[in-house]
Amino acid sequence: MKTRDKILLSSLELFNEQGERNVTTNHIAAYLAISPGNLYYHFRNKSDIIYEIFQEYEKLVDFYLDIPEDRLLTLDDMTFYLESVFDGLWSYRFFHRDLEYLLDRDPRLRSDYREFTNRCLAAISRIFEKLADAGIVEPQPEGLRAAMSLNVWLVITNWMAFLKTAHAAKASACLTIHELKQGIYQVLTLELPYLTPAYREQVMALREKYRPTMPEQKGMLESPAY
Amino acid sequence: MKTRDKILLSSLELFNEQGERNVTTNHIAAYLAISPGNLYYHFRNKSDIIYEIFQEYEKLVDFYLDIPEDRLLTLDDMTFYLESVFDGLWSYRFFHRDLEYLLDRDPRLRSDYREFTNRCLAAISRIFEKLADAGIVEPQPEGLRAAMSLNVWLVITNWMAFLKTAHAAKASACLTIHELKQGIYQVLTLELPYLTPAYREQVMALREKYRPTMPEQKGMLESPAY
DNA sequence: GACTACCTAGAGTATATACTCTAATAATAC
DNA sequence: GTATTATTAGAGTATATACTCTAGGTAGTC
């Protein structure tokens, strides 16, 4: 593999594991056993590395959220969207952690991320619309759909942060993609009241699959209620 | 005012305005026109300052979220809870921004924050329960209430981050408490499907008061839909 | 072999950051 | 007044971080 690609890959790995704030360019170089000079030959600065990683992330999510316009959506489609989005979130999980700082540092990133958010919100809203077309959820007026989509976005993008902060031990280590996907349970909770009678049972069953297994799993206290 | 208190106050102010990551102990000292030595006479380190500020935050929210057990809740109570929580969020807004990093750095904070989260979740759930007692929302099984409460928590605590990242300009400056309170619109969106017919209209009207005024206001793109 | 374009090493730098140390000054107690 | 304690200044330090610079290698081409 080209050195340039190795830098991107290792940076992502280290960022995900330790947080962007805790990973310096020197760390990355040391991890790859190359010189700092070499790293800076391939990238002008740390921001550029992050920006390229973001572009990969963006491309991935855009690919996942492509919505077929020539047919109705199925429950399987919905499951796929949810699974995919959480997979993406997992692969680039460092990104949302230090988002605000990163956007403050790089105007390109801020502007791109804003558009990315808008595309995602539009996609979520469109999915709701098509789920209504398919008779899975009740149709809703556009305004409500927009507000609901925003709530879905908030839950999705911040579920990981919640898990990490609710964990007893240090955040980075003990978090699995399996736990992360319990976020799907939360998203489906949002949809619950809007389901049509025809699909209610099926979606409830799907939701059950993502139910947090153990109270302890979620890092919650001993509250047995949960 | 005592120097010690001035340090806490100014730190909070600077953290809120610039982010904890961008504010050093030297900055704080310079801002107060005192020496670094003086600052470190009053606080062992930066973590201790943050920890004390967190304790104030905690105390404030706990005070707000005290739920009367001797009477039914009213819509005014609900409004008060929402307004208060967002006020608290605003006053200590630096905190949620760098939460993960802060918790990784200070085990005391991690453990305290975890319990704080659990108290808040329990309070939200209890509010739902009492809103059902008051006939404002339909009663729900405990499991659903817990999941709903968690969604409410996710929306509340991450609404500000969304606003800041959706903003076109640099995050810190152009964000007002007024905009922040549009988060209440989102929270009420969550409650919408669970309202009783008797209260539906009233809550819808309340929700309208927090509707984002202009599409531009929310930092969204030119999507007119929103 | 010589020219060129690409790649790499590694020492080095300017700046920042959290924090320390000593000595001096103010406040209080007796 | 004197002894003691609390507070403050300000220079200084160890470490880290993002990034630079020079010199040298390597690969391909003619």
Domains of chain A are 1-43 (1.10.10.60), 44-218 (1.10.357.10)
State the Cα angle at B111 between B53 and A185, rounded to 5°.
Answer: 110
pLDDT tens-place string over residues B62-81: 999 999 999 999 999 999 99
Is a pLDDT exceeding 70 seen at residue B225? no
Task: Average the pLDDT over A74-102 and give the result.
Answer: 97
A110 contact B CB<8A: yes
Nucleic strand C near CB of residue A37 (< 7 Å):
yes
The pair of structure tokens assigned to A157 is 């993008």
Task: Average the pLDDT over A116-121 and give the result.
Answer: 98
Q: In the prediction, which pLDDT does B220 show?
A: 47
Beta-bridged to residue A137, according to DSSP, are: A195
Separation of alpha carbons B214 and B223, rounded Å: 11
Interface of A with B in 172-211 (CB under 8 A): 172, 185-186, 189-190, 192-194
Q: In the prediction, which pLDDT does B54 show?
A: 98
Nucleic strand C near CB of residue B26 (< 7 Å):
yes
Q: Between the CA of residue B87 and those of B167, B181, B212, B225, what are the distances in Å?
A: 20, 8, 17, 29
Cβ neighbours of B206 (radius 10 Å): 18
Separation of alpha carbons A52 and B100, rounded Å: 24
pLDDT tens-place string over residues A149-189: 999 999 999 999 999 999 887 766 678 999 999 999 999 99
B154:A155 CB<8 A: yes
Is a pLDDT exceeding 80 seen at residue B223? no
Beta-bridged to residue B195, according to DSSP, are: B137
Task: Give B61's contacts (C-beta < 8 A, 6+ positions apart).
Answer: B85, B88, B116, B120
A132 contact B CB<8A: no
Which nucleotides along chain D are within 7 A of a protein C-beta? 7-12, 16-22
User: Of A5, A52, A56, nearest to A32 (Cα)?
Assistant: A5
Q: In the prediction, which pLDDT does B171 show?
A: 62
Q: Name the band, by pLDDT with cuts 50, 70 and 90, for residue A34.
A: very high
Of A19, A99, A172, the CB nearest to B161: A99
Cβ neighbours of B216 (radius 10 Å): 12
Q: What is the largest CA-CA distance in chain B?
A: 63
Q: Name the band, by pLDDT with cuts 50, 70 and 90, for residue B213.
A: confident
Mean pLDDT estimate for chain A = 93
> Between A and B, how many residue pairs show a Cβ–Cβ distance under 8 A?
130
Q: Which nucleotide lies at the shortest CA–C1' distance from A20? A: D17
Which residues of chain B make contact with A172, given a CB cutoff of 8 A? 104
pLDDT tens-place string over residues B95-148: 999 999 999 999 999 999 999 999 999 999 999 999 999 999 999 999 999 999
Q: DSSP readout, B89-112?
A: HHHTHHHHHTHHHHHHH-HHHHHH
